[in-house]
Amino acid sequence: MEDTQLKQRFETKLDTIIKNSQNIQEIIGPLTLLHDKIFLNIQNNPTEQKYRTIKKNNEVLKQKLFCLQGIPDLLSLAGFELNDEIYQLKDDKFMKLMNCIGVLSQHLNNLRSWTHLNTNVLKDTVTNYTDKDIQKITDLVNAKKKIIIFFHADWCGPCKKISPSFHTMSGLYKNIHFAEVEGDKNKQLGQIHQIQAFPTFVVYKDGKINEVFKGANEGKLKQVCEMLN
């Protein structure tokens, strides 16, 4: 029971890190380092104490591991204790680490699969809407379609950053209707949805607005797609 709860806490923390990430690719490096160079080294060399010690102030680790917010929490959940800027895994915490390795492996596999798909050409199914299409959107909502509307602007840097991911996801999640609106040129649709900033995503489910979120947050967008899917 305790092992199951530990795995759940570790998984919840990983999910939070992914959700809060602005760019999924940026978190793969630190998590891979944690998995391959720390966790697996300990697993494969259980009697070697040198692999169980991590110096928090090591310059390389600062840049490549601790650059990711949430790493200290993952280490703590995996059984590491912090004393004088050094993380150490003691013998009695070894099984904690073993329980967390599988969870981290699965999440990394999922992230790698996602980024692989994201770099390949998928059929784009995003539909562009203007103020002339208000009734079309209303009909989709009344039909209780799952919809994500991406409000953006040509001059918006974050919009350009998240747009490729939005279009890629439209090819992955076929049961979701992906729509985009050039917000600064289609004021009426913007007013209906109370758009005050770009990018803004409006999520419809079961005939009503389920969620509205702002910013070029790829992790959040993927989470919403998974929820609707």
CA distance 27 to 22: 9
CA distance 105 to 89: 19
- List, by residue number, the catalytic residues: 156, 159
CA distance 127 to 207: 19
CA distance 100 to 3: 9
Residue 64: closest CA among 93, 100, 37: 37
Is the C-alpha dihedral spanning 123, 221, 21, 94 positive or negative? negative
User: Which residues does 79 contact at the CB level (< 8 Å), separation at least 6?
Assistant: 89, 90, 93, 94, 95, 96, 97, 100
DSSP state of 51: G
